[in-house]
Each structure stands twice: as structure tokens, then as C-alpha cells.
Amino acid sequence: MTPVVKVVNVHKRFGAREVLRGIDLEVGDGEVLCILGPSGGGKSTLLRCINHLETIDDGLVWVDGEIIGYELRDGALRELPERKIRRQQQDIGMVFQHFNLFPHLTVLGNVVEGPLVVRREPKAVAMSRALDLLESVGLRDRANAWPSQLSGGQKQRVAIARALAMQPKLMLFDEPTSALDSELVGEVLDVMRRIASEGATMIVVTHEIGFAREVADRVAIMVDGELREIGRPSEVLVNPKDKRVRRFLARVIADPDEASSGTNQS
């Protein structure tokens, strides 16, 4: 079976610093992959390369069998025109750390904006799906509220509903709970558990080791721009083989905030 995501020898540099060092990765249909690792290890950068929010310096990324961001022309890879990149990105849902809701739109307006404006769906169809999604994240009663009237957990649940409204082939989550107070984390993780149980293909960058242990089909640990270890949670989180991975997990288990500490580009 063709994987939904295929990453081959991906390198990414910011100036002289190499953030991704030859990443190889495949994610199957309906699989949940959680990526953990210390701050600055390249986790968020990898997600941004998968949906071409960052260009790559070497390697290739496929989503659902299609090269993302590039085309082979005259024997060479060339970056796609902006409109073609935008079309590809419509099929990849992304949930960021900081919600990124449109402040001038209501909760319902945020969720229907993509289907109406980008996909040009009939309004009745888009509205019906949006209300169903808000129901599924427990926020149908806040459909007419403004983002400024929501808690952080509610904003993130709206952001998840907004991404799902585009009916993506792949969902990317970039530390979706890291900006939330601890009492709000659970409500977002509950929504993500439900999405996973419904068969969505998900790549989740997270420091929530309990969520990774419970929900992930596989866990990957990134250190210094490399995937140091990848496998079933029961293998990687319990008996890692790599020395750097063992040290990282020992720190995280002793202090769960350790995984998200620091301000480096990751």
C-alpha cells in the first residue's frame, strides 16, 4: 500500500545551521505518528516541510502519492507555482501552537471560511459540516461567539474543527497543547483521541508523553535534526536503544515540562 506520507532524505538549513539532516519517514493510511524530542531538534520544521510552509534544501516529500511543492520538469525539480502549492496544502490540515483564528470572524465563520472561499462549496453544505464539526468538538453552542470570548482550549478546538472542515487527507499537529494552561490540555487531547479513533492519518509533534503512549501507532524521537528512533510506543518509550533518546526520555519522565522547554527553532 502506498503510504500517505513519504519523506526521503530531507535536509533543511537555516543559514549555516542544518536543522533537518537526511530525514526518511513513511506514514501509512490511518496511522498516528507522534514525534517527541528536545527543543530545537527539528520537529516543527519537519511538519512545515511536509506541507511546504518551508522549502527543503534536499530530498522529497510525497503526500498521497504526489510530490509536495515541486514538479519534475526537463529532468530537474522545480518549485510549483504558488496556486498549485495552495491546492496541495488544501489537502493537508495543520493545527499550530497558537490557534491562528481570524479575530474578525465568529467561531462558525472561522470553520466555514476555507470550504466557502477556497473550495467554493455550496454554503448550505459548508455550514452543515461546520456545525457538525463544532458539535463534535463540544462547541456548537459557541458558534456565534468571537475568538476573543473563548478560552485557549476552546480556541484550539475551533482550530481543529477548522482544519477538519477542509476534509484533509493528512492532519499535522504542531505542539497543539503547548500554549495552554494545564487544566485546558485535556479537552484538546480528548478531541485528538476521537479524531484518531475515526481513522485519520495524523502526525503529532507533542511533549504529551502519555498521549503518545496511549494513542500513537508509532513514536519517533528527533534529536539534532535526526530521527534517532522510531517504533511502537511500547518499544521506543520503554526500552530505547539510542543513548541520546534514553537521556531525553529519562528527563521527560522526571520532569514532563522538560520536553517543551527552550525557545530554539524546532
What is the per-residue pLDDT across 6-32, written as a single tens digit (0 to 9) for each? 999 999 999 999 999 999 999 999 999
Q: Global pTM?
A: 0.92
Q: Could you give the C-alpha distances from 224 to 83, 119, 173, in angstroms and in order?
A: 33, 38, 20
Segment 160-215, tens digit of pLDDT: 999 999 999 999 999 999 989 888 999 999 999 999 999 999 999 999 999 999 99
pLDDT band at 1 (very low <50, low <70, confident <90, very high): low
pLDDT at 99 over 60: yes
17-27 sheet: strands from edge to edge:
17-27, 5-14, 58-63, 66-67
pLDDT, the chain, mean: 92
Q: For residue 223, is pLDDT > 60? A: yes
Domain ranges of the chain: 92-167
Q: For residue range 125-148, what is the model confidence (pLDDT) as tens digits? A: 999 999 999 999 999 999 999 999
Nearest CA among 181, 182, 205, 204 for reference residue 39 = 205
Q: Give the span between the Cα atoms of 96 and 182, in whole angstroms.
A: 17
In whole angstroms, what is the distance from residue 264 CA to residue 266 CA?
Answer: 6
User: What is the reported pLDDT for 262?
Assistant: 41
**CATH number for the 92-167 domain, one of 2.60.120.10, 3.90.230.10, 3.40.50.300, 3.40.50.150?**
3.40.50.300
Please tell me the predicted confidence (pLDDT) of residue 77: 84
List for the chain the helix, strand, coil content (%; round to 5). Answer: 40, 25, 35
* Region of 85 on the Ramachandran plot (φ > 0 left; ψ -120 to 50 alpha; else beta): alpha
